[in-house]
Every structure is written in structure tokens, then in C-alpha cells.
Amino acid sequence: MPIGRRSHTKSRTGCMSCKKRRIKCDEGKPACTQCLQHRIQCDYKNPPVPSTRLPTAHTISAVLSPNGFAAASTPICATGASSSLQPPLQDIDTTDFRLLHNFTTSTYLTLSDQKELRDLWQQQIPDLAFSHTFLLRVIFAISALHLYRKTSDTNYLAYALQKYEEALKSSSLVLTAISPANCHALYACAALGFLFEFGAPSEDQNILYDANGALAPWVIHVRGVRIIMASSWHDLESGVLGPLFGHKFVDQSVDNIEACLGRFAEHIESTEIDTETLSTYLDAVQDLTKWSKMVEAGFFAWMCQTSDDFAALLAEKQPFALVIFGYSCVLLKYGEPRYWIEGRAQRLLREIYGYLQPHLRVWLEWPLAIVG
């Protein structure tokens, strides 16, 4: 017997997106929960008069939770000073100040398990951001997202998405003119962007492909790092971000992945496939084997440096490309930072498994056993 839709009180003041989709709107401001979860524009036809729960660009700090970054109500003037010369703190938008404070006192701890890299995220990168607005905006975004994950306050999520979009727009312009002066900020922005994409909530169970079947934004985002590294590798390695590239290779691949990849490569070679495509697959396997010996950063490095031809095959959901990517999920399981990537390897593998025919699913038995 079919289950009917649950009844609910019809809202006449919900957003236009929820009305169009004929679903209940919780009328959250600046964006409702449904629109936030689907990461779509939330518009109200006749928005009510703003109150302390409905922020504008100039009053957003007054509406966010007191435990997060709501403005204080006490004046900042010193004892005996004229209050007319020292305006109350509530007249100043403290949102970004509080987000930067949260980043340098709390969020930075989630970005690495290594002290040297934590120091880099806490001190040098925020300092670098004062000269590069796009990096500062993505710092605000990841800090707000961190607070949302801790408090479930959707005001933080709305602000995080807003700042992230601003960071993408401003950094895309700078990418057309990469130089020794901006390459460090661009790389740090890309690294935080990757974590933001992975950490942002989504109702969609699939994270490798979007709702239209195209590769998800985070994949394109990581692939774009190749442009920065190709043009500025020496500057990056020898500059302020040098510690990020200090991961060392070990003698053995993680969890015997090298032997498993070798057997799958032999299977690919035994099939009827054109020489160029075969070479693309074998190169991807070889690269994945190489980066499997750098556990903490192996997944990110492989995603950045694998060929455009392989990325094209993955975009087409070619079965062999999917299986190879499935093996990379083992690297993701052991990668850093755990706070932002926890559970993503399992979700990716389940998604890939669903795309494959039964005779190819057997090749994912080993990754599934490792990842869980």
C-alpha cells in the first residue's frame, strides 16, 4: 500500500524555491534549510521586515548565535572616555573578526595532525591572507563551516557558503595571472577549498558526480591545483608553504595496494582495448602505486597529478577508470586531515560500486574490505 505524503501546515511566506518544488519551507533566513542542503539560491518574494533573526550584509553579526559570533552589547570605550567618540561594539560588524579568531584558535587544529603544519595554518597562512582577499574569504568560509558542524546553526552555514562563493569568484580571476607573489595564497586557497567541498553538508548521497552526472565540483577544484603547481612548483616548495610538501615516501605501499593494482592492470591488458586508452589506464595505475607510498597526502597528490585523459575517462564513468578510482579510496581512508574527510572514502566506494556491472564489482572487494 503506497504511503501518502505527510500533511503539514501550508506556509504562505516560504521561499520561492520551496513553493516551486511544493515542499515545506522552514522560512529560515538568510536561506531556508531546504535551499542550504541543496546549495541553491533562496529567494523570498515578499521578505518580511528584518529583525534580529533576519540578517543583512551590515547586521549579520547581530543575528548569529551568542556562542558563535554575535556582537557584544557592551561599549568598547575606556572608563572616563566619551562614548560619542567610542561607538559601542554593537555598531561594528564583528562577524569576520570572530571567524578569524575561531580559525586561529580552533579550526587550524582540524587541518592537520602534525604540529609543524598546524603552526603553518595558524600563523603563516592567516598572515598571508591579509595580502590576498580570496584566501581570507576562504578562511572565513572554512571557519564558519567548522562552527556549523559544531553547533548545527544554519546561520553559520549560510555565511560559509556566501564567503566560499566569493572566494571562488575572486580566486578564479587571479588564476589567470599566477606569479611568485600569489602562488602560495592560491595553493592554500585550493587546499582549503577541497576541504570545504568535502565538509559541506549535502542531501545527495553521491559525491563523485553531481545531480546531472558530471564530475562533482571538488574533483574539478582539485584538478585545478595542477595549474598552480605546474607553473610555480619551485616557488611553492621553497616558500612559506614548504612544510606542506615535506611528506616523504615510504618503502611499501599501504595495505598491499601495489600487488592488488598490479593484478587489475594485468586484467586490463588482457581485454580488447585501444592502445592509447590502455596506456592511460596503466599510467593511472602506476601513478596511484607511486602515491600510495605517501600515505597522508597520497590521495590529494594523485588526484592533482593524474592525467587529463584519465580524468576524461572518469568523467564518462568508464568502468576501468571507476575501479582504479575505487582503489584510490584506500589512500583517502588513511589521509589527512581526518576531521574533514572522515567517512568520505566509504561513501565514494559505495557510489562507484553502484555504477559497475557485477563482473567488475569483484575488483572492489579488496578496497571495500579495507575501507569498510
CB-based contact 184:128 (threshold 8 Å): yes
Assigned C-alpha cell, 22: 511544493
CB-based contact 42:15 (threshold 8 Å): yes
Query: Is the pLDDT score of 59 beyond 60?
Result: no
> Does 2 reside within a domain?
no
Same domain, 268 and 364: yes
Same domain, 109 and 187: yes
Same domain, 161 and 227: yes
**Residue 251 — pLDDT band, cuts 50, 70, 90?**
low
Same domain, 100 and 231: yes
Count other C-beta atoms under 10 Å from residue 172's C-beta. Answer: 11
Structural domain boundaries enclosing 108? 95-244
Four-point Cα dihedral 191, 194, 198, 203, nearest 10: 150
Domain end residue (candidates: 244, 277, 300):
244
60-96 pLDDT tens trace:
333 333 344 433 333 333 344 434 445 555 556 799 9
> Does 189 reside within a domain?
yes
> Does 61 reside within a domain?
no
Same domain, 99 and 240: yes
Same domain, 222 and 255: no
> Does 70 reside within a domain?
no
Number of domains in the chain: 3
Same domain, 212 and 270: no
> Does 85 reside within a domain?
no
CATH number (domain holding residue 17): 4.10.240.10
Same domain, 292 and 338: yes
| Distance of alpha carbon 19 from alpha carbon 21, whole angstroms | 5
Same domain, 177 and 312: no
Q: Is 75 helix (H, G, I), strand (E, B) or coil?
A: strand
**Residue 309 — pLDDT band, cuts 50, 70, 90?**
very high
| Closest among 106, 2, 101, 351 to 211, alpha carbons compared | 351
Same domain, 206 and 309: no
| Distance of alpha carbon 142 from alpha carbon 367, whole angstroms | 30
Same domain, 240 and 99: yes
What percentage of the chain has pLDDT greater than the value 90? 60
Mean pLDDT of 46-62: 38
pTM of the full structure? 0.76
Domain end residue (candidates: 204, 220, 244):
244
> Does 73 reside within a domain?
no
Q: H-type helices in the chain, by residue range?
A: 16-21, 33-38, 95-105, 115-119, 125-129, 133-151, 154-174, 183-199, 217-238, 257-269, 275-291, 298-305, 308-315, 319-334, 338-341, 344-355, 358-361, 365-371
CB-based contact 332:299 (threshold 8 Å): yes
Domain end residue (candidates: 189, 224, 244):
244
